[in-house]
């Protein structure tokens, strides 16, 4: 089994957005939602409209993982607006899957999701991209933005911080922490 990497370069993420959006709004939002939330693939492919909408039918401001209830992921306003527009344009009901097959109106399979992400990556010349790339990209950029590795570990459901560092491709040799107290 080949190892996949997170997408580290913001320009490559933007290129993926462009390629995916040119093919399908659904594919673009599948990718964007995944890298902004770090949601597990099995959950992503089974998301219903009601999972992202609040009681007022607006898109929720935060994403919550059941196994990490104290960690809230804020959804960017642009993503919330895009999801609202997508749901309206596709005339999706609350009980329908958010990312469904256009042909069968059932959930996307893992294979379909892989083909979507892999084909877009190939179009822009990216290697070592698969479905786990989505979760790894979320975790990598969370870490780069200053989120503690222990928080990311808890959110991902990993047993150790070492496992999380390895998952996102950060060498423990390159990690330095300096604490300078002046009490």
The pLDDT tens digits of the residues spanning 74-118 come to: 999 999 999 999 999 999 999 999 999 988 889 999 999 999 999
DSSP string, 88-106: HHHT--TTSBSSB-TTTSS
pLDDT, position 19: 98
pLDDT, position 44: 96
From residue 98, how far is each of 93, 101, 133, 172 by CA, in Å?
A: 9, 10, 20, 38
d(C-alpha 57, C-alpha 76), whole Å: 17
Res 164 pLDDT > 80 = yes
From residue 76, how far is each of 4, 43, 166 by CA, in Å?
A: 26, 20, 27
CB 76 within 8 A of CB 29: no
User: Domains of the chain, with CATH numbers?
Assistant: 10-168 (1.10.443.10)
Task: Give percent of the chain with pLDDT exceeding 90.
Answer: 82
List pLDDT tens digits, range 8-40.
999 999 999 999 999 999 999 999 999 999 999
pLDDT, position 144: 93
User: What predicted TM-score, i.e. pTM, was given to this entire model?
Assistant: 0.92
Which residues have C-beta within 8 Å of that of residue 67, sequence separation ≥ 6? 157
Work out whether the CA dihedral 86, 59, 48, 15 comes out positive or negative: positive
pLDDT, position 176: 65
């Amino acid at each position: 089994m080949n190892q996949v990497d997170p997408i580290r370069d913001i320009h490559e993420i933007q290129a993926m957005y462009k390629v995916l959006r040119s093919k399908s709004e659904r594919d673009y939002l599948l990718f964007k939602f995944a890298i902004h939330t770090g949601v597990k693939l099995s959950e992503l492919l089974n998301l219903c409209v009601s999972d992202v909408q609040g009681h007022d039918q607006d898109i929720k401001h935060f994403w919550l993982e059941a196994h990490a209830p104290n960690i809230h992921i804020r959804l960017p306003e642009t993503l919330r607006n895009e999801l609202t527009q997508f749901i309206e344009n596709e005339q999706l009901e609350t009980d329908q899957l958010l990312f469904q097959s256009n042909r069968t109106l059932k959930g996307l399979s893992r294979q379909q999701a892989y083909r979507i992400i892999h084909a877009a990556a190939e179009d822009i010349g990216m290697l070592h991209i698969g479905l786990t790339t989505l979760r790894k990209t979320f975790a990598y950029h969370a870490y780069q933005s200053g989120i503690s590795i222990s928080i990311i570990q808890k959110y991902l459901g990993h047993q150790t911080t070492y496992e999380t560092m390895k998952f996102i491709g950060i060498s423990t040799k390159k990690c330095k922490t300096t604490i300078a107290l002046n009490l």
